[in-house]
């Protein structure tokens, strides 16, 4: 039997739950969100080309990646099951985050570097290559070296407090989040590599629990104002492959904070 991807599983779950309770009320919400990823990677480790010298450098520690906050439009649809319980699918325009380099006493090995024509200069060649990479890293510290887009549909089961007739109703929601990423290096990022081409960046998908706490204020029977703070557990593995076949890896484990505000219409 073919297994479903995390995104397909989420869609199937949402479809089955939203199909229940035919008489339930829908609310469509349109607004905006501010994503603070709180995302700093583990040490980036792996090979970096030493061209025009032979061999490659080995990045061991002291270099990390930090994902910057970003704002984006959001959309969600909520279905009331009764006076207190509801189901909600939260979507949004995939935000494009800047990714900055964090350099702190990097450890770089040049043991594999040799001079292309004079073995007597191998030691000096390795030292020169290490110094050149350290200079590149220092010049790019706190600079944007890549961008990343994330697509993160999140499904919630919400519980609303107070009576259904109350204009103001706080709520809490528990759910599941699926996050997919797509990244690309910037010109500054490309300059870290001597391969003459964009390195290939791949990021694994993440699926994990999500939580939101918020409140709704009803303006009338149809219109409402909504606000919430959302967080989720996101784990991600980053792999960078260069044109010359070298590979670098790092991992992200973070709990983003997302502040949302929206206008809702119920029908």
Which structure tokens are listed for 142?
């706190």
Per the CB < 8 A criterion, the answer to whether 29 and 76 are in contact is: yes
pLDDT-based confidence at residue 6 (cuts at 50, 70, 90): low
Separation of alpha carbons 255 and 234, rounded Å: 6
The predicted model gives 192-202 an average pLDDT of 79
Question: What dotted CATH number matches 6-43+67-103+143-266?
Answer: 2.40.160.20
Task: Give the model's pLDDT for residue 257.
Answer: 96
Is the entire prediction scored with pTM above 0.75? Answer: yes
- Domain residues of the chain, as ranges? 6-43+67-103+143-266
Q: What is the pLDDT of residues 205-253, one digit of tens each?
A: 999 999 999 999 999 999 999 999 999 999 999 999 988 889 999 999 8
Per the CB < 8 A criterion, the answer to whether 58 and 108 are in contact is: yes
Residue 155 has pLDDT above 60, yes or no: yes
pLDDT-based confidence at residue 196 (cuts at 50, 70, 90): low
- Using alpha carbons, select from 35, 157, 144 the residue that is nearest to residue 94: 35
Task: Give the model's pLDDT for residue 21.
Answer: 45
DSSP for 224-255?
A: EEEEEEEEE-EEEEEEEE-TTS-EEEEEEEE-
Separation of alpha carbons 230 and 193, rounded Å: 37
Q: What is the pLDDT of residues 97-110, one digit of tens each?
A: 999 999 999 999 98
Residue 1 has pLDDT above 50, yes or no: no
Separation of alpha carbons 81 and 68, rounded Å: 37
Separation in Å, CA 129 to CA 79, 121, 135: 60, 12, 10
Separation of alpha carbons 163 and 18, rounded Å: 23
CB atoms within 10 A of CB 219: 11
Least confident of 6-10, 131-135, 143-147, 240-244: 6-10
Q: What is the pLDDT of residues 23-50, one digit of tens each?
A: 459 999 999 999 999 999 999 999 998 8
Sign of CA dihedral 183, 186, 188, 191: positive
């Amino acid at each position: 039997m073919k297994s479903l991807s995390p995104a397909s599983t989420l869609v199937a779950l949402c479809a089955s739950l939203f199909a229940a309770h035919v008489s339930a009320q829908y609310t469509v919400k349109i607004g905006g969100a501010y994503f603070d990823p709180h995302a700093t990677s583990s040490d980036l480790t792996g090979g970096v080309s030493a061209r025009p010298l032979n061999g490659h450098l080995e990045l061991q520690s002291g270099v990390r990646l930090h994902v910057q906050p970003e704002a984006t439009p959001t959309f969600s649809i909520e279905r009331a099951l009764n006076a207190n319980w509801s189901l909600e699918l939260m979507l949004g325009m995939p935000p494009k985050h800047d990714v900055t380099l964090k350099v702190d006493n990097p450890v770089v090995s040049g043991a594999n570097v040799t001079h292309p024509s004079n073995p007597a200069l191998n030691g000096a060649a390795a030292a020169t290559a290490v110094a050149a990479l350290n200079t590149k890293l220092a010049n790019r510290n706190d600079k944007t070296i890549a961008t990343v887009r994330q697509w993160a549909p999140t499904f919630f089961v919400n519980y609303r407090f107070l009576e259904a007739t109350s204009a103001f109703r706080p709520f809490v929601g528990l759910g599941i989040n699926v996050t997919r990423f797509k990244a690309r290096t910037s010109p500054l990022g490309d300059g870290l590599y001597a391969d003459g081409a964009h390195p290939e960046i791949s990021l694994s998908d993440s699926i994990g629990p999500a939580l939101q706490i918020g409140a709704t204020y009803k303006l009338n029977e149809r219109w409402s104002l909504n606000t919430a703070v959302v967080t989720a557990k996101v784990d991600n593995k980053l792999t960078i492959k260069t044109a010359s076949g070298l590979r670098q890896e790092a991992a992200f484990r973070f709990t983003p904070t997302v502040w949302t505000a929206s206008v809702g219409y119920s029908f």
